[in-house]
Amino acid sequence: MWWIILISILVPAISVGTFVVLIIISKIKHQHGDYNDGGGIHIGAHQRVSFFTPANDRAGIVGEKRVNYYLRPLLRNDEYLLTNLLLPLWNGEKAEIDCVLVSRKGIFCIEIKHWVGHISGNDEDEFWLQEYDDPYRKNKYRKNPIKQNDFHCTIIKEKLNIYYPINNVVIFYRLEYGRRINSKYIYTVRKFRDYYRSLDSNVIPESSLKIIYQKLKPYIATLEQLQRHREAYK
């Protein structure tokens, strides 16, 4: 009977050990990313979440941080992840852009959403419907994030004055079941990573990466600039 007792002790121990090893491997893989020289250059305001941060703002900031965490391992060390840009408009206002990814695979203007509930909409709709299961929460109509980000892409192209296309990407950190979204521009984090990895790595030459970054660098906002912009926008 002693061998039955021994197996009952060893099997759980081996299972736990295997689980720990898998976690360590996962963390190492994330740190190194897709390349031995991976990790990219992340430039942008590091927003803080405090006790006094409003719930809606808190969800958005946390969503952006998590998405950026998963985007960086896709990049090489001389490629860029730029977050929280404020680009001036012709009317004196500014457009806030969540994220611009600059790599050999292209330029990606990324809008990050952390909406909850059931989302309905397509590329042509002016507004999308956000419905809740909670009877105490009122359903909302939201501006179409695809059209919103397409406008951001146009602004970036004007500022850069280059012939490279600007890719319109909207990433939902979480999409609940029951959604009815018909769009070729909407991704979860995992789907965007799979899509990005499938792309050609020779769209933008290495020599142009820093030039593009230098043109966008002046528009990267500080925490104070972001706060003033959002207060004015509200």
**Per residue of the chain (234 residues), what is the pLDDT tens digit?**
555 554 555 545 445 454 444 444 445 445 457 888 788 898 886 555 444 445 454 444 554 667 778 899 999 999 999 999 999 998 888 999 999 999 999 999 999 998 888 899 999 999 999 998 888 889 999 999 999 999 999 999 999 998 899 999 999 987 776 568 989 999 999 999 999 999 999 999 999 999 999 999 999 998 888 888 888 876
Q: What pLDDT, on a 0 to 100 scale, did the predictor assign at position 52? A: 42
Q: What pLDDT, on a 0 to 100 scale, did the predictor assign at position 68? A: 79
Q: What pLDDT, on a 0 to 100 scale, did the predictor assign at position 97? A: 95
CA dist list (Å): 179 to 4, 125, 128 = 50, 15, 11
Listed in order, strand segments (DSSP E) in 17-126 are 41-44, 80-88, 94-103, 106-113, 118-122
Q: What pLDDT, on a 0 to 100 scale, did the predictor assign at position 19? A: 41
Residue pair 195/171 in contact (Cβ under 8 Å)? The answer is no
Backbone dihedral region of 161: left (phi > 0), alpha (psi from -120 to 50 degrees) or beta?
Answer: left
Residue pair 125/144 in contact (Cβ under 8 Å)? The answer is yes
